Amino acid sequence: MYNKRSGIEKFTSDICPNIVQKLEQLKVDFKSFSAIPSGCYIYEVDNEYERHVVNLTRKCYTCRVWDLTGIPCKHGVAAIYKNLERPEDYVHACFRKDAYVVAYKEMITPLPGQDEWAETNLPDQVAPIVYKPAGRPTMKRKKDADEPNNPYKVSRSYEPIKCGFCHQEGHNSRRRRLE
């Protein structure tokens, strides 16, 4: 925690270092895209392979990467530069230096070693016993007794299934048909 706190204090940018690196890579990748304005803060961004609609006021577009990550992707960066703005202004607030400092401002106090722990008269903690049946787990669900059988199912010798008790076809002795 101390290393993170002191590291971010040394950083001069308003955005976290790894996000700055991603934005620098996006600034290189956006050059194959052209942004055409189609309304107030709405752009159509395309290249020869794909086309997306970017809305800068809502900070979203049809690619949905910006919605999921909070960082504009190459389509958003192309529209932002066409709007004569900086992509750093469109990064989500959780990636800002202020949020990072707030996350690491609390200090975790060190705990004493195990030899300094207070002794109690309680029994030692034991892990619970987990019952795991032997064999391979079943893959099929178990059917209810009143659930109908598959009439098209046949035995391995291609003869219809017969009950061992009543000698009727359609069920076996393990699961009697309720009628």
Q: What pLDDT, on a 0 to 100 scale, did the predictor assign at position 165?
A: 83
Q: What pLDDT, on a 0 to 100 scale, did the predictor assign at position 175?
A: 56
Positions of the chain with pLDDT under 50: 177, 179
Q: Full-prediction pTM beyond 0.95?
A: no
Which tens digit of pLDDT belongs to each residue from 50-99? 888 888 878 777 777 888 888 888 888 888 888 888 888 888 888 888 88
Q: How far is CA 1 from CA 29, 42, 93, in A?
A: 34, 42, 21
Dihedral of CA atoms 12, 108, 99, 66 in degrees, nearest 10, equals 110
